[in-house]
Structure 1
């Protein structure tokens, strides 16, 4: 029960890594607020885990404000916020429509800013807490993902800056940087790309949502109480280089 009685809000909670985190945190004793755009899937996930379901569009300031207000009214406080919600619109940059660039930046980077801002307002001068944003190993650069890579690099900069600004209140801000994790998003990746990703990963396989969820558990729990401003890679070692042939 590493999160016993802690109140944690999770975005992107209806599927994939968010759903795995919701289930893990429920088993660790957390009081949960589940947020997502997909109403039906959100209700099912919340019912299965005993969470409060709060619909939220992280790219919409009014939706984020309303969602956090509803969470605080129901729960009284927030001890942790784990922000996963994001999208991809992949293409080589010379083929990328401006609307695809702007949509990915809006959801992944501006959405992270809006969620983190609302989280800090809920915690600042009230109670210390942990904010976990989601970057990606792709922030180091990846073919066909100029928009996503730029957005996730922005999340890293945002994480480090917020850690500096919020430390005085005991609020910790860290980021997860997953590699190739088996989710709905990566299910769309062509098989050749998948094979290359596995070949470039020292552990020789893709990751599971629960493996990212356990990293989030560490960052929200008191076990990481002296850790802030960090990026935790959950990528099977791919960031350090390809496995030997």
Structure 2
């Protein structure tokens, strides 16, 4: 039985990840700012799986809280940094406080928990939850996209420095996943626009949880510093676009094709 610390476990992808590990018989330590939601998830894991669950509520933007999570959790084997916020803030309305809070929760907290894990001197696995926004900006998400790009480089940097301690550090980058979240609400208009992908559907939290579970397990024992895109093929390309030219399908001698 492993001990697994999951941040952002009060709902959505974080809760699905906690459920996946609980179903495997692991001990869960759950962290989230939302007290009621955290307690609800913990209660469900106990009822559904008979899991041993510890709740550690608090604000990950508080550096002391983030730094102390690993010590409070005890000897952990797996750390999943799933906490994240993505307020919609047009760039010209951005303030230092809004920018800093997104970076503090989405990047700094993951750095602090991972550093604490490394200092504990126990081999194990870290899985960070990134986003397609790490490589693709969109209106209102300059702070969020920047934080996820930073998280992916943090993942690689930690993999390099912690590999000698037997700690693997990877990330899962979800595409658009259907979640019911009061903390990070989205409109149906937005969801429809970003959920177009080659597989033709939105993702489910359990599909992200499965990827995290695999990366944290022995089957992925020689993988570190990797970013696993679980996005229905969104990163591969845009399947829904029409042919760029309908006048023919072959290139004649002497002609050049351009992207």
Among 152, 157, 171, the alignment partner of 1:161 is: 157
Among 160, 171, 174, the alignment partner of 2:170 is: 174
Matches within 5 A, 1:67-78: 67-72=69-74, 77-78=75-76
Deviation of the 1:132 alpha carbon: 0.7
Among 105, 114, 117, the alignment partner of 2:103 is: 105
Kept in 2, the 8 Å contact 1:59–1:114? The answer is no
Among 52, 55, 58, the alignment partner of 2:57 is: 55
1:135 corresponds in structure 2 to 130
Deviation of the 1:53 alpha carbon: 1.0
1:79 corresponds in structure 2 to 77
1:91-125 per-position Cα deviation (integer Å, ceiling 9, x unaligned): 33223233222211121111111121122223x2x
For the residue of structure 1 that corresponds to 2:79, the secondary structure is strand
User: Does residue 149 of structure 1 match 2:145?
Assistant: yes
Structure with the greater alpha carbon radius of gyration? 2
Among 221, 226, 242, the alignment partner of 1:225 is: 221
More off after superposition, 45-54 vs 137-146: 45-54
1:208 corresponds in structure 2 to 204
Kept in 2, the 8 Å contact 1:180–1:235? The answer is yes
Deviation of the 1:188 alpha carbon: 2.9
Aligned residues: 233
**Structure with greater proportional helix content:** 1
For the residue of structure 2 that corresponds to 1:239, the secondary structure is coil
Distance 2:145 2:221 in 1: 29
Deviation of the 1:56 alpha carbon: 3.2
For the residue of structure 2 that corresponds to 1:154, the secondary structure is helix
For the residue of structure 1 that corresponds to 2:195, the secondary structure is helix
1:65-114 per-position Cα deviation (integer Å, ceiling 9, x unaligned): 33322211xxxx11100011111122332232332222111211111111
Rate the CA distance shift 1:98–1:241 in 2: closer, same or farther, 3 A. same
Among 185, 192, 195, the alignment partner of 2:192 is: 195
Stretches of structure 1 that go unaligned for 5 or more consecutive residues are none
Rate the CA distance shift 1:110–1:96 in 2: closer, same or farther, 3 A. same
User: Does residue 116 of structure 1 match 2:114?
Assistant: yes
Deviation of the 1:28 alpha carbon: 0.7
Distance 2:165 2:110 in 1: 20
Q: CA RMSD in A?
A: 1.7
Distance 2:178 2:98 in 1: 23
**TM-score if structure 2 supplies the norm length?**
0.85
For the residue of structure 2 that corresponds to 1:174, the secondary structure is strand
**Shift >4 Å, 4+ stretches:** none
Rate the CA distance shift 1:65–1:188 in 2: closer, same or farther, 3 A. closer
**TM-score if structure 1 supplies the norm length?**
0.89
For the residue of structure 2 that corresponds to 1:29, the secondary structure is coil
For the residue of structure 1 that corresponds to 2:126, the secondary structure is strand
Distance 2:185 2:63 in 1: 29
Distance 1:137 1:185 in 2: 21
